[in-house]
Amino acid sequence: MRDFIRPASLEMPPLLQDIMGWDDGFMSRAGVPQYPCLIDQKHITGELYEFINVPMVVWIDEKGRVVRPAEPAGVVDTVRQLDPQTFQLPKDAIEEGKRIRRSYVDAIRDWVAKGDRSEFALPPDEARHRATGPDDTDALATANFRLGEYLFERGHRDEALKYFAEARRLRPESWSFKRQTWELEQAGKASGAEFFAEVMALGDKHYYAPLEMKASGK
């Protein structure tokens, strides 16, 4: 397990490396994973675990218990500092991203080594408290997304777009719905002008929620 906590390829472009927060130390240990990597084409995992953005993770122990519910995977909320034309970040934002990424990977290593004794492993009650869970409106948004996906795959694009728009309206905090449906509307739209306009319109809201890493009382 300790050997697996590293990026999957040495071919990551420097620009993407900066955005993702990988420093030279991480990249020097890069290797191909020795375990299965599945592609969830129907977004079932995201629906089950409440992934509303990427990258997000959930920690599950050997007994199948959710130790940490869905949270941003060691990323910092610097997207509003990203130049939409060049995708460059200011140097201080790059360094902050690398710091957050290192601290998150270190937390995973601590959990791997110590299990439930780790200060980053949440007790069951706290893990349940942090897990928001979908409400009726969220479920209706998912139903609209799935219906739109069904119609799109069968060539009914115009009808599909109506359901995609309703999914976004019902659950505006889901960047997964926004970016997935935008990309189906038009290739490149998920990282284009409309995406950045939505990000800039957040005001004092977060694109990535800040992480509360340590468990209460530990």
Range in 8-17, 94-103, 171-180 the model is least confident about: 8-17
Q: Are residues 18 and 99 in the same domain?
A: yes
Q: Do residues 195 and 104 share a domain?
A: no
pLDDT of residue 211: 87
What is the domain count for the chain?
A: 2
Domain co-membership, 141 together with 126: no
Question: Taking CA 146 as the corner, what is the angle to CA 143 and CA 149, rounded to the nearest 5 degrees?
Answer: 150
Residues 107 and 152 both lie in one domain: no
Nearest to 4, CA basis, from 37, 43, 49: 37
> Quick check: is 157 in a domain?
yes
Same domain, 72 and 163: no
Mean pLDDT, the chain, integer:
87
Mean pLDDT of the region 101-115: 93
- Residue 190: which domain range? 136-200
Tokens encoding 143? 């139903």
The answer to the question of residue 56 being in a domain is yes
Using only C-alpha atoms, the chain has a radius of gyration, in whole angstroms, of: 19
Backbone torsions φ then ψ of 59, nearest 5 degrees: -95, 125
Q: What does each C-alpha distance from 154 to 43, 69, 149 come to in angstroms? A: 18, 35, 9
- Number of residues assigned to the chain: 218
Same domain, 56 and 91: yes
User: Last residue of a domain, which of 115, 130, 145?
Assistant: 130
Determine the average pLDDT of the residues in 107-111. Answer: 95
Q: Which of 5-19, 30-44, 132-146, 149-163 has the lowest mean pLDDT?
A: 5-19
Tokens of 54: 């990427």
- Mean of the pLDDT values across residues 44-57? 91
Residues 32 and 49 both lie in one domain = yes
Q: What angle do CA 200, 101, 115 make, to 5 degrees?
A: 130
Mean pLDDT of 58-83: 91
Query: What pTM, to 2 d.p., does this model score?
Result: 0.80
The Cα–Cα gap between 28 and 163 comes to: 45
- Flag whether 170 is in a domain: yes
pLDDT of residue 87: 82
Q: Is the pLDDT of residue 63 over 90?
A: yes
pLDDT of res. 77:
85
**What whole-number distance in Å separates Cα of residue 12 and Cα of residue 18?**
10
> Which one, of 107, 119, 139, 93, lies nearest residue 217 by Cα?
119
Biggest CA–CA distance in the chain, Å, is 54
Q: Which of 49, 48, 40 is nearest to 70 (CA)?
A: 49
Range with the lowest mean pLDDT among 20-29, 77-86, 105-114, 167-176? 20-29
